[in-house]
A and B are shown apart, each in its own frame.
Chain A
Amino acid sequence: MKTFTFKDKHCATAEPGQFLMLWIPGVDEIPLSILDARKNGEVMVAVKKVGEATRALHSKKVGEVIGIRGPFGNSFSMKKGKILMVGGGTGIAPLLFLAKKMASKTAKLVFVTGAKTKRELMFIDELGELCSKGNVVATTEDGSYGVKGLATTPLETLLAKERFDMVYACGPERMMLKILVLAEKHGMALEVSLERLMRCAIGLCGSCVVGKYRVCRDGPVFTASQLGEIRKEFGISKRDFDGKRMSLE
């Protein structure tokens, strides 16, 4: 994963949870969560190499030109009180942005971050600065750092032990589905950020629809009760480039 910083006066006003469309000229345009937006006009995104577009972006050098549209979509609520954030893989990006904005206003902030291996675990130092000692829980699937398992592994004990006023989650959808089940079981409020195929990003083309919602306009942040309305699809299926439903597994 690499972070990229660029100037864009529109996206510099973004709130945590919003996304942008990044154009790699002549290659592709992809949706990305905003990692940070600063008053000086700087905007940051975190990008993992997963395909042609992200590979092309990784090979860009400082000073090269990219195109930016946005910011798009809604943002996380900024709930006061005791907060739990759960980020899986690159899903940590919008949550780190949220944590930066909220850290000083919360009564307590616990951050669970999961990755496949220690090498893929990102922003551990930044999280250490935002959360009190002991409130950053890292998990790796191979056990090379922190708790061995998935980001959801420590949650059952965490949620049984303590009441959180809000749980924010972003990551693989199967992970978020597990978190929804846990949040419902323990009666805690939850907001998650969904990812779908994006084309227009302005609510017209229908590529990102899930149930009656357009992820680009009605989301990407959804509450637990909205997730309840899209239970037939959430964590189960998404639409492919031809609009056909495909399994998320």
Chain B
Amino acid sequence: MAGLRLANPTMLASGILGYSAETLESIVDGGTGAVVTKSVGSKPRVGYANPTIVQTSCGLINAMGLPNPGIDEFVKEIREAKTVLNVPLIVSVYGFSAEEYATVAKKAVDAGAHAIELNVSCPHVRETGSEIGQNPRILAEVVEKVKAVVDKPVFVKLSPNVTSIAEIAEAATKAGADAITAINTIKAMAIDTETAIPILGNRTGGLSGSAIKPTAIRCVYEIYERVKVPIIGCGGIVNWRDAVEFLLAGASAVQIGTAVAQKGPNVFRAVTRGINVYLKRKGFESVNKIVGLSHRS
């Protein structure tokens, strides 16, 4: 897919564990086809004060604030991960300018990243993330600058917090994106009723988990009708049926994040097995045969 060989169509979504080679290894042991690291920027960032997560009855809201040690420190983990992981390593990158995205992406690729995923969709850090991904012109500039300096596949992870995600996806692919990841979290908030205080340290954050799956399915469906590059579906996948739904909507692979909390790293193996059983039962030779199948009906 997009120049990467995947043993199965599941991947670890960015932001989940992914600080260290050793934790990524435990996810690979759980059967994931590829891993995406936490987002890394040009400088260290400590992230927001707690609470950084709210467990609501319908999903998680998080506002970690992109904590990361900075690319110059993180290249050590990339190099170590390369020696211990037997699946593609995708490094998630953020920046506060197109130049910064390009510099970090280049350092990650030089350290051995198999691909780059551009985080242009984090909903809770100002002047990066979705503030870039919500503007097709700025987004195109970021993608072009990154593509100019790296020779590895570049995925662009999009935000659902836009009027037309398909339009944004089109801008990203015209600028050279090799794949589209959809979706990042949905901007959200929780307020404590006893004290009338917003719970998250940052007040707002991003909603993930089952609650966002229908939105994510719709986004993938719309993007598939607009662009030719592979789509990586993400948002609320807990079991094989969720994953198959994404494939039918047009995704070529899927990312799983929040479900790692409920099901542990073995969720990847369970989802992969379920997809294979489904393909066999329905008489399809491979995953590719069902990608976008729902568009024919």
Contacts and interface: CB of A to CB of B under 8 A. Distances in A.
Interface of A: 21, 23, 25-26, 28-30, 65, 67, 69, 198-207, 209, 211-212, 214, 239-244
B258 A204 contact: yes
Contacts of B127: none
B38 A243 contact: yes
Contacts of B49: 28
Q: A-B pairs with the 9 shortest C-beta distances? A: A241-B46, A29-B50, A244-B69, A206-B17, A29-B51, A242-B44, A25-B195, A206-B19, A200-B53
Contacts of B26: 212
B265 to A, nearest CB: 9
Interface in B40-82: 44-47, 49-53, 55, 60, 62, 64, 67-70, 73
Contacts of A244: 44, 69, 73
A204 B59 CA distance: 13
A28 B17 CA distance: 22
Contacts of B46: 240-242
B285 interface: no
A25 B53 contact: no
Contact of B50 (A30, A65, A203): A30
The listed residue with most B CB atoms (<10 A of its CB), out of A67, A198, A239, A242, is A242
A212 B194 CA distance: 39
A205 B53 contact: yes
A199 B68 contact: no
A209 B195 contact: no
Contacts of A65: 194-195
A204 B67 CA distance: 13
Contact of B53 (A202, A206, A243): A202
A163 B39 CA distance: 50
B25 to A, nearest CB: 6
Nearest to B74: A243
Contact of A209 (B22, B45, B199): B22
B164 interface: no
Chain B, interface size category, equals 35 or more
Interface of B: 15-20, 22-23, 25-26, 38, 44-47, 49-53, 55, 60, 62, 64, 67-70, 73, 192, 194-195, 197, 199, 201, 257-258, 260-261, 264
B195 A241 contact: no
Contact of A211 (B22, B44, B194, B195): B22
Contacts of B20: 206, 209
Given A30-B50, A241-B67, A206 B16 contact: yes
Contacts of B50: 21, 23, 28-30, 198-199
B199 A203 contact: no
Contacts of A67: 51, 192, 199
Nearest to B54: A69
Given A200-B53, A202-B55, A241-B67, A209 B19 contact: yes
A21 B52 CA distance: 11
14 contacts: A25-B197, A26-B195, A28-B50, A199-B47, A202-B53, A203-B260, A204-B15, A205-B16, A207-B67, A209-B20, A214-B23, A241-B67, A242-B44, A244-B69
Given A69-B55, A209-B22, A23 B199 contact: yes
B245 to A, nearest CB: 23
Given A26-B195, A206-B16, A206-B38, A199 B52 contact: yes
B62 A200 contact: yes
A204 B261 contact: yes
A69 B26 CA distance: 26
B70 A242 contact: yes
The interface centre, meaning the residue of A200, A202, A204 with most chain B CB atoms within 10 A of its CB, is: A204
Candidate in A65, A198, A209 with the most chain B CB atoms within 10 angstroms: A209
A201 B64 CA distance: 13
A205 B64 contact: yes
Given A200-B53, A212-B26, A243 B64 contact: no
Contacts of A243: 19, 38, 67-69
B52 A200 contact: yes
A26 B200 CA distance: 9
B25 A212 contact: yes
